[in-house]
């Protein structure tokens, strides 16, 4: 969250430009020779010795390396190359726990194989069944220096590469002279083609012969360069990393099912954490609600507009001088804040507040959050190790919690317990953490943050008068010291190889790369972990408030594995059509590749003024983000959905759809938490042989069964929808549409609807009607929408539990199947939901002699049956408990 454009543009004086070296020069380096090779059935080790005169392109080549290769599972190979003579930084297991190898796997049983040449040392990964090479360093020598590591692989021409985020590039990455830089930064405006808030050094490559994945476990800054070969007969992918080790996981994926590689990646970084059922409701926020009256009015106005509001959020406006763990006594007095929370909870709604990492540096001012942290000595330190590293954020000069310090969790949990207390503070249902790259407004080298705070007017003054306090509302780590190769302060601040950080030098707009952690690590190595470590610490603090209950934590900065703990929003986008469109690829990346499925963009745009038509379209698209929130900044016009008639109607229409689908969404999320199956899918995940789908990122599949195809051009009522060769059903008319593997042009798509199709072969459990809250929704009966595929069959599932427990005591998981006119429900029945099934809707039904008859539902006769000939929809009205296994015969 950042609106100070002048600050954003004030880059530091010492800007470091990206480094370019002729690739032919790098390819002429000597590389290494493999010696002392030792193999067994599941592993290989070797020494790698520099093979000739050192290149020393960005420092001295390391003369001897250690290679370890382990076949960890039948689908995963772990390849690790380290300095044989000195310990180097590695991503700590406390931040990203590594999976244990399977004790029974052997190389012979693996789906992929590791192959190597001895002199020069090169290696490749190939698919066992076909011998197809998936990754090969042939002709590209390994370079391993203190601050520069290079690995380069050859790939097929025009390779289909996805991942290497966070970014707003196309979902399928460009292959011509394209660089993906990984280094967390405060990226106001979320520009295309640059590094952004988070870092996920994983890519999936898809071929018609299968899909595989490559994960480099590194939090060091890096450029990943993708380029077509000069001959045009291939693509190269090159890692340029400024520290650490080479720690690769190669994932076999599958020759037929692209989603298998997502599940294999989840085995490495963790499956996503489940969130409460209410998290899938609609959320509202704004940076710029000036006082408690405005917050209360928004809640009231949503109710008056008959737009379901599940959760109200408040940005940093509520804080005193922008200081975390405080409220402004004049603008957001505690009694009024408690009144707001009590009102929301009494109406089955929820409340979330912002918490930033930066704590105001305020010695002698009786600011308890600072004083307690100072007493506990938990701040990120300056290189001298004795004074805290100072930054500049919203409250002015600040310090930063050191998440590696073993006492920081205690500090953070205590602050959450005391400030977000239902008894003495403000009760919250979820947490929102921002600015955790970490962000700093202090222009590097930040010699005098106090002067810069005055210059930038931080903290900013209030510009409105406080309301009458009596105004009525709602009336109508791993802490062990790790050894590392010694680098000078100059090298930590200015590495010889300069990654293409869009902020300039790697210390610009963030904590300095020479800042020191309590365990001896430096920000140079751990910078990209800061946001995820704050996320884990915050989630733990929230869980301690309500033991055993799930919580919602939404963060801005993420690293690999963050989804196992928190959700994510895509940052400070603009209210324009470009950001509307690229939000789709952003969601596909997070939910479909990086295992962060609870994700969404700021609907209608965060910065700049939205328009009625853009906001209407975005409300409808946003209803198919897993995390649905309207949010914008204080310099833009208010954009709550009720402010325009078209937007209000679009919101009512699409939230009605979302809420009726909420249990379908919840079931898909539960499956993701079990094994990593993606919640949101690009089309090629389901149609891997259809080459036309490989570059599509303006439509997507929500779960397995819903094709979402939003209008993506300003003021347009037309959209081209690509329908693969498959059976689909229009959501609104329920009529069958046969995809031909080509675009279908839809015209007259009004501003209050979004094109939506059900894939043939699906059974969707739907709530029979929507509701104003998810609590009320859970009391609504179900209906089943049966959409047979070309073979006449369909399947689906429904997961039910209490919606809040981390480990529910009971649950229900029903699998539905339809075949030969028989609908079967079979599964584990444990959670007593009390839900009723009141209707079946069979699509594509044919009847040559009027209305088909229904034999029975477990012996119970069903009489109320209707058939619509033009749409071929058979409706069966019934009333039976859903908490049971059953069979229904639909016999013409």
> What are the catalytic residues?
434, 437, 572
- Kindly state the tokens that stand for 430: 């979820």
Give dist(CA 152, CA 156) in Å, integer: 13
How far is Cα 172 from Cα 152, in angstroms, rounded to an integer?
20
- Report CA 835 to chain centroid distance, whole Å: 32
- How many helices (H) and strands (E) the chain has is answered by 17, 46
Length of the chain as a residue count: 892
Report d(CA 51, CA 54) in Å as an integer.
8
Alpha carbon distance 565, 536 (integer Å)? 6
Question: Would you call 807 exposed, middle or buried from its count of C-beta atoms within 10 A (0-12, 13-18, 19+)?
Answer: exposed
Q: Are 37 and 69 in contact (CB under 8 A)?
A: no
As a whole number of Å, the CA-based R_g of the chain is 28
- Three-class SS state of 328: coil
CA 398, CA 373: separation in Å to the nearest integer?
12
Integer Cα distance of 233 and 175 in angstroms: 12
Give how far the C-alpha of residue 587 lies from the chain's centroid of Cα atoms, to the nearest Å.
7
Q: Which two tokens stand for residue 378?
A: 């938990």
CA distance 510 to 398: 12
User: What CA–CA distances, in Å, run from 461 to 5, 35, 188, 326, 363?
Assistant: 17, 66, 22, 16, 21
Strand order in the sheet with 886-891: 853-857, 886-891, 822-828, 812-819, 794-800, 762-767, 782-787, 836-842, 873-881, 865-868
What's 541-579 look like in SS3?
Answer: HHHHHCCCECCEEEECCCECCHHHCCEEECCCCECCHHH
Tell me if 366 sits within 8 A of 430, measured CB to CB. Answer: no
541/412 Cα distance (integer angstroms): 7
* Three state DSSP letters for 399-433: ECECCCCCCHHHHHHHHHHHHCCCCCCCCCCEEEE
Cis bond leading into 24, ω under 30°? no
Please tell me the distance from the alpha carbon of residue 776 to that of residue 783, in angstroms, as a whole number. Answer: 16
SS3 for 61?
Answer: coil
Q: Smallest Cα–Cα separation from 601: which of 618, 614, 577, 613?
A: 618
Ranges assigned E (strand) in 781-831 = 782-787, 794-800, 812-819, 822-828
Q: What is the DSSP string of 253-277?
A: EESS-THHHHHHHHHHH-PPPP--G
Residue 6: how many other CB atoms lie within 10 Å: 8
Tokens found for residue 293: 């009256």
């Amino acid at each position: 969250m950042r609106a100070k454009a002048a600050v954003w543009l004030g880059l530091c004086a010492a800007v470091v430009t990206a480094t370019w070296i002729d690739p032919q020069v790098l390819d002429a380096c000597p590389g290494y020779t493999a010696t002392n090779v030792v193999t067994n059935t599941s592993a290989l080790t070797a020494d790698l010795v520099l093979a000739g005169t050192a290149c020393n392109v960005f420092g001295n080549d390391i003369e001897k390396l250690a290679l370890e290769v382990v076949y960890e599972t039948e689908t995963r190979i772990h390849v690790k190359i380290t300095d044989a003579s000195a310990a180097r930084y590695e991503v700590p297991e406390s931040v990203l726990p590594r999976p244990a190898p399977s004790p029974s796997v052997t190389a012979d049983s693996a789906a992929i194989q590791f192959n190597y040449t001895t002199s020069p040392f090169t290696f490749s990964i190939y698919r066992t069944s076909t011998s197809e090479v998936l990754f090969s360093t042939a002709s590209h020598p390994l370079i391993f220096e203190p601050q520069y590591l290079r690995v380069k692989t050859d790939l097929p021409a025009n390779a289909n590469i996805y991942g290497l985020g966070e970014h707003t590039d196309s979902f399928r990455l460009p292959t011509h002279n394209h660089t993906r830089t990984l280094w967390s930064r405060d990226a106001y405006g979320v520009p295309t083609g640059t590094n952004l808030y988070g870092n996920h050094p994983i890519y999936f490559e898809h071929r018609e012969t299968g899909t595989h994945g490559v994960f480099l476990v590194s939090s060091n800054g890096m450029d990943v360069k993708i380029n077509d070969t000069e001959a045009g007969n291939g693509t190269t992918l090159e890692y340029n990393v400024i520290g650490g080790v080479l720690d690769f996981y190669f994932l076999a994926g599958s020759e037929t099912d692209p989603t298998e590689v997502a599940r294999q990646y989840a085995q490495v970084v963790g499956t996503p954490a489940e969130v409460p059922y209410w998290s899938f409701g609609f959320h509202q926020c704004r940076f710029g609600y000036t006082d408690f009256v405005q917050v209360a009015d928004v809640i009231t106005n949503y109710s008056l507009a008959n737009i379901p509001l599940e959760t109200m959020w408040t940005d940093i406006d509520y804080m005193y001088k922008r200081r975390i763990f405080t409220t402004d006594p004049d603008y957001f007095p505690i009694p009024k804040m408690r009144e707001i929370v009590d009102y929301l909870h009494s109406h089955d709604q929820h409340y979330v507040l912002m918490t930033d990492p930066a704590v105001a540096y305020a010695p002698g001012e009786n600011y308890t959050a600072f004083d307690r942290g100072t007493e506990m000595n938990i701040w990120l330190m300056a290189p001298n190790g004795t004074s805290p590293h100072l930054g500049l954020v919203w409250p002015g000069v600040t310090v930063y919690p050191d998440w590696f310090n073993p006492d920081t969790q205690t500090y953070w949990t205590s602050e959450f317990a005391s400030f977000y207390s239902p008894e003495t503070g403000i009760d919250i249902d979820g947490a929102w953490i921002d600015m955790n790259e970490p962000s700093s407004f202090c222009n590097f080298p930040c010699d005098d943050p106090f002067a810069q705070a005055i210059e930038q007017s931080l903290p900013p003054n209030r510009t409105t008068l406080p309301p009458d306090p009596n105004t009525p509302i709602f009336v109508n780590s791993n802490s062990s010291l790790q050894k590392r190769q010694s680098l000078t302060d100059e090298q930590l601040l200015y590495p010889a190889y300069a990654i293409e950080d869009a902020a300039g030098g790697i210390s610009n707009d963030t904590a300095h790369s020479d800042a020191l952690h309590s365990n001896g690590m430096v920000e140079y190595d751990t910078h990209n972990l800061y946001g995820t470590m704050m996320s884990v610490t915050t989630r733990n603090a929230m869980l301690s408030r309500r033991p055993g209950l799930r919580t919602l934590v939404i963060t801005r900065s993420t690293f690999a594995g963050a989804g196992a703990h928190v959700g994510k929003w895509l940052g400070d986008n603009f209210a324009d059509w470009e950001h509307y469109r690229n939000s789709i690829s952003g969601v596909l990346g997070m939910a479909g590749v990086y295992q962060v499925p609870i994700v969404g963009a700021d609907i209608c745009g965060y910065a700049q003024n939205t328009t009625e038509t853009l906001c209407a379209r975005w409300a409808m698209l946003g209803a198919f983000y897993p995390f649905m929130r309207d949010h914008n900044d204080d310099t833009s016009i208010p954009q709550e959905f009720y402010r325009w008639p078209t937007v209000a109607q679009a919101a009512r229409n699409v939230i009605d759809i979302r809420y009726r689908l909420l249990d379908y969404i919840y079931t898909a999320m539960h499956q993701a938490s079990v094994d990593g199956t993606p919640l949101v899918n690009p089309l090629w995940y389901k149609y891997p042989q259809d080459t036309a789908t490989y570059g599509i990122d303006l439509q997507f599949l929500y779960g397995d069964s819903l094709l979402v195809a939003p209008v993506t051009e300003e003021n347009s009522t037309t959209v081209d929808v690509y329908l693969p060769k498959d059976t689909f059903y229009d959501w609104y008319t329920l009529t069958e549409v046969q995809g031909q593997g080509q675009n279908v042009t839809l015209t007259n798509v009004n501003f209050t609807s979004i094109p939506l199709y059900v894939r043939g072969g699906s059974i969707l459990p739907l709530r029979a009607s929507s509701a104003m809250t998810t609590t009320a929704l859970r009391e609504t009966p179900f209906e089943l929408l049966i959409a047979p595929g070309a073979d006449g069959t369909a399947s689906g599932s429904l997961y039910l539990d209490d919606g809040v427990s981390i480990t529910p005591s009971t649950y229900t998981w029903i699998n539905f199947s339809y075949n030969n006119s028989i609908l079967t429900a079979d599964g584990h029945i444990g959670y007593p939901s009390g839900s009723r099934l009141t209707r079946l809707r069979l699509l594509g039904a044919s009847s040559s002699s009027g209305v088909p008859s229904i034999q029975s539902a477990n012996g119970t006769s069903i009489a109320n049956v209707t058939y619509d000939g033009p749409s071929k929809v058979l409706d069966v009205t019934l009333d039976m408990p859903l908490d049971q296994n059953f069979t229904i015969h639909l016999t013409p």
